[in-house]
Structure 1
Amino acid sequence: MDPQDQEDQDEDTPGPVSDQDASLGKVRNRNLYLATMACVLGPLSFGFVLGYSSPAIPELARISDPRLRLDADQASWFGSIVTLGAAAGGLLGGWLVEKLGRKITLMFCSLPFVFGFTIIIAAQNVWMLYVGRLLTGIASGVTSLVVPLYISEMAHERVRGMLGSCMQLMVVVGIMGVYLAGLYLDWRWLAILCAVPPTLLIVCMCFVPESPRFLLSRGRRREAEEALRFLRGPDAPVEWECARIESACDEQGSGFQMSDLKDPGVYKPLVIGVMLMLFQQMTGINAIMFYAENIFEQAHFKESDLASVIVALIQVVFTGVAALIMDRAGRKILLTISGVAMAISTMTFGVYFYLVSKPSGAGVEPHADLSWLALASMAVFIAGFAVGWGPIPWLIMSEIFPSKVRGVSSAACVLTNWSIAFLVTKTFQDMMGLLTSAGTFWLFASMCVLNVLFTVFFVPETKGKTLEQIEATFRGAPGP
């Protein structure tokens, strides 16, 4: 059963909706949900990659084998080189999704996941660890581009927000899973576990169709109708939906040209998409997640590895909440709430580090009594990020671009996201030394304030609109 009822659709969908309502009333979502479950094994693998460094770095820093032992600088590269690979993977993915399609690209990116973790498992020196992390980063970059596009092009407007948020939900499930497994497994066995989801991804993707919009953009109408019939159920009027998509494709033409950047229907969503990715990473989220255990150790919190698991669990819960309410609350309000929560929490975290850096007059360090503040601030930050700035930039990226520039524009967004992620994660320890721990978190707080202002003034609401209606909004024309 759809998570939205008929009244929600009547209220939220602009323009004439009678045909749209008639069509959606006959839709059955079972196969759509199954297809989404198959493709989000990619983000689950991606989450394993992101979370792997947190339990692995402390172990590799004290390992007895000098060939594999990481010093502080090597640990920084081990954590951050994933983002360089992901930036390259974003560019590669933008080309692959247009040449091979969404389904084949997603199956292809399973290979560097598996090969990367295999190299880590067999590592005999630090450079093999780097190569393995780089390969898994490339796979993560491709995944972060293709999965949002694939889900948004399969899903209809009533459930697109919920299903699109499943990507981030599975990322954080992967992070929590690897944190939890890291309590019991050493770094090699942990890498073996991380290779399981991408292996399953290849198998499961054999049973789901290609994106109907991609098929129609290639003139493969019969295959597109079969894909839609699989995704919408036997009673849905798939011919009507195909005609609507084809009409929008005909208006746009085919193939990206540099002259398209003069079109407000292209450059406006591109600027918004890139800025969303920039602001997402400038909150410091990846630096915080990569070095979660280290942060708690510096905050003098006992059982830092357990604290990281608790934080990851909070992220899973609130990302799940965001997915459930996304198509009711809307993207814009959740982004605003998220930005405010993160600004408050990072400001408080900065205050905590400032206080613990000052010895008390009696010569007793205050951090023993304030360690709860570090965990509370981290929990609020993660919860805030999870309900808005975690899933929504990826969701909006998948919604706002015209089909003919979707691959190129998404590649620009992914490249921005992971390039900034690299800069933040690689320089995080340096920032902590230069600005102090307190100053670093206050810098992140100022970025969160800018996030809120950008959301209020520039981010459009896409709730309840078809992809074609969203495209028409940027062109200043009524949607189909």
Structure 2
Amino acid sequence: MSPYLVILNVEGYHEIPKVSSLTVSWLSSIYNIGILAGALISTYVNDILGRKLSMILFTVPGLFSQIFQYFAVNISMVFISLFLRGIVTSWAFSIVPTYISEIALPHLRGPFTVVGVLILSVGMLSGSLIQASFSIELSALIGGILVLVTLMFVCVVYETPYFLIAKNQDEKCKESLRKFCSEQNVDKEYEEIKSSWNESLSVKQTGWIKIFTDPSNLKVFLICVGVQSCQQFTALTTMITNIHVVVEHYGLDISLTQISIMAKGVETFTAFISIFIVDSWGRRPLFIFVSLGACIAHFVTGLGLFIANINGEISTTLGITAFIGNLIYLTISGLGLKYLPNVLGAELFPTDIKSKGCSLLMVISAIEGAIVALLFDFLFNIAYYLPFLIFSVCGFLGFVFGIIWVPETRSKSLSEIQRQLKCNSCKK
């Protein structure tokens, strides 16, 4: 939970008196509803208006979110702010990886995507630090300024060649390629993109149904859902947003705000490291590693709490052990578990259904996150150790899934990835 919600829960804000834990839960829920709305909006804006205009438009709800947060005088304005923030979050996680995957060179695509996710994480960490150390008003003011800076930046970027091909704007596509490749002769790159686009048109179905009727698209969807499910069913969303609820049962002398900042700090620091390993290791080995890491992290926490359950109390040593397991998991999250579903979705889905595929993953992520949150609360109330041992098993299943199903996309062009997927589908 962000310091914003902690402050509302403990102190209140402006003319808003402190709110109950139930209201905080509803505030978290409205954020998830915003994520669903943003995923659907981004799907059509990305494909109809283009990648560049989509990035321009998502700054609008982002700016209004900060405005409502700054001027909030009743709980309704807080609900609106968080709803808009949910829209921006899913919209950004849909369009930014898509844009980067379509403009970056193969060996830079992974690191650039991680940088995009890292910027979001640094922004959240900065906001948390400002909220905790200074005020909510200052964080909203700085957040609004950063949104305007983002708007100025995306106004000068170029449209992706893949979208221009899809709209039959061949000359603009070549011009875009010249800008991104920094060379005049781009015939080879143009022909490769054109050929890949024409191959995608060979499947007669259009729209959402194309994801499920074409064998290679369906395979991509199942792979991405598997990776996404490993992320959510190892309790990523719950551990990031509600870690304070977990740690307060460990008997440690740590404030809720300190827990929130520490969690975001660990995750952000490891995300910096992931910039250098996502391409040197490759997507498949990294996913296998983080899945196994999530398994071990939750097992450490679950084991500490299980021993405490046998002893009848949580000692400081066992509390620290459980907390270390949580920090290991957040480290694993920053190293790859948090962003790999977005990277693989942007790389594996073909251009004509990329926006729909990535947005559908965001919807599935939000639904799975809600299910896991309910499951976590139910199991945690039975026994503190129970959800962590179950999530440890889910991490191991993700480890097995990665070995068997997840393909490698490192240093391959998007066209090469599609040819490989179609070839594998034909063989089967």
> Normalising by the residue count of structure 2, what TM-score does the alignment of the two structures yield?
0.91
Asked if the contact 1:307–1:375 (Cα under 8 Å) also holds between the matched residues in 2, the reply is no
State yes or no: 1:346 paired with 2:298: yes
Give 2:242's match in structure 1, choosing from 277, 291, 309: 291
- Superposed, 1:5-404 pairs within 5 Å as 53-63=1-11, 67-234=16-183, 237-253=185-201, 256-257=206-207, 258=209, 261-304=212-255, 305-357=257-309, 366-404=314-352
Cα distance change of structure 1 residues 58 and 307 upon mapping to structure 2, 3 Å threshold = closer
Q: Cα offset for 1:457?
A: 1.0
The 2-side partners of 1:351 and 1:260 are apart by 41
Asked if the contact 2:342–2:358 (Cα under 8 Å) also holds between the matched residues in 1, the reply is no
Q: Cα offset for 1:396?
A: 0.4
Show the counterpart of 1:467: 414
Asked if the contact 1:182–1:190 (Cα under 8 Å) also holds between the matched residues in 2, the reply is yes
Asked if the contact 1:115–1:132 (Cα under 8 Å) also holds between the matched residues in 2, the reply is yes
Q: Which letter maps to 1:474?
A: L
When structure 1 is superposed on structure 2, of 460-469 and 276-285 the one drifting more is 276-285
Cα distance change of structure 1 residues 266 and 182 upon mapping to structure 2, 3 Å threshold = same
Q: Which letter maps to 1:407?
A: S
SS of 2:337's equivalent in the other structure is coil
Asked if the contact 1:335–1:392 (Cα under 8 Å) also holds between the matched residues in 2, the reply is yes
In structure 1, the gaps of 5 or more residues are 1-52
Q: Which letter maps to 1:462?
A: T
Show the counterpart of 1:14: none
When structure 1 is superposed on structure 2, of 349-358 and 223-232 the one drifting more is 349-358
When structure 1 is superposed on structure 2, of 119-128 and 276-285 the one drifting more is 119-128
Asked if the contact 1:77–1:426 (Cα under 8 Å) also holds between the matched residues in 2, the reply is no
Asked if the contact 1:60–1:70 (Cα under 8 Å) also holds between the matched residues in 2, the reply is yes
Q: Residue deviations 1:181-218, cap 9 Å, x none?
A: 23312333333333332221111111110111101111
Q: Cα offset for 1:242?
A: 1.1
Q: Residue deviations 1:342-376, cap 9 Å, x none?
A: 1111111122333444556xxxx542233322332
Q: Cα offset for 1:290?
A: 0.9
The 1-side partners of 2:337 and 2:414 are apart by 21
Cα distance change of structure 1 residues 325 and 263 upon mapping to structure 2, 3 Å threshold = same
The 2-side partners of 1:276 and 1:170 are apart by 22
Cα distance change of structure 1 residues 185 and 355 upon mapping to structure 2, 3 Å threshold = farther
When structure 1 is superposed on structure 2, of 114-123 and 280-289 the one drifting more is 114-123
When structure 1 is superposed on structure 2, of 62-71 and 445-454 the one drifting more is 62-71
Asked if the contact 2:130–2:138 (Cα under 8 Å) also holds between the matched residues in 1, the reply is no
The 1-side partners of 2:150 and 2:64 are apart by 14
Q: Residue deviations 1:392-422, cap 9 Å, x none?
A: 1110000111111112222211111122223
Q: Cα offset for 1:310?
A: 3.1
The 1-side partners of 2:245 and 2:142 are apart by 23
The 2-side partners of 1:477 and 1:371 are apart by 48
Q: Which letter maps to 1:340?
A: L
Show the counterpart of 1:440: 387
Q: Cα offset for 1:155?
A: 0.6
The 2-side partners of 1:353 and 1:130 are apart by 35
Give 2:403's match in structure 1, choosing from 445, 456, 466: 456
Q: Which letter maps to 1:448?
A: G
Q: Residue deviations 1:44-96, cap 9 Å, x none?
A: xxxxxxxxx42122211122578442211111122232122112211111111
The 2-side partners of 1:260 and 1:295 are apart by 38
Q: What percent of counterpart residues are identical?
A: 22
Asked if the contact 2:211–2:357 (Cα under 8 Å) also holds between the matched residues in 1, the reply is no
Show the counterpart of 1:422: 370
Asked if the contact 2:302–2:322 (Cα under 8 Å) also holds between the matched residues in 1, the reply is no
Q: Which letter maps to 2:19?
A: L
SS of 1:437's equivalent in the other structure is coil
Q: Which letter maps to 2:25?
A: S
Q: Which letter maps to 1:391?
A: Y
Q: Which letter maps to 1:383?
A: T
Asked if the contact 1:113–1:198 (Cα under 8 Å) also holds between the matched residues in 2, the reply is yes
The 1-side partners of 2:225 and 2:17 are apart by 38
The 2-side partners of 1:473 and 1:64 are apart by 55
The 2-side partners of 1:325 and 1:313 are apart by 19
Asked if the contact 2:250–2:320 (Cα under 8 Å) also holds between the matched residues in 1, the reply is no
SS of 1:302's equivalent in the other structure is coil
Asked if the contact 1:76–1:426 (Cα under 8 Å) also holds between the matched residues in 2, the reply is no
The 1-side partners of 2:181 and 2:53 are apart by 21
Provide the alpha-carbon RMSD of the alignment. 2.4
SS of 1:388's equivalent in the other structure is helix
In structure 2, the gaps of 5 or more residues are none
How many residue pairs get matched?
A: 421
SS of 1:298's equivalent in the other structure is coil
Q: Cα offset for 1:260?
A: 6.2
Cα distance change of structure 1 residues 133 and 454 upon mapping to structure 2, 3 Å threshold = same
Show the counterpart of 1:7: none
When structure 1 is superposed on structure 2, of 188-197 and 118-127 the one drifting more is 188-197
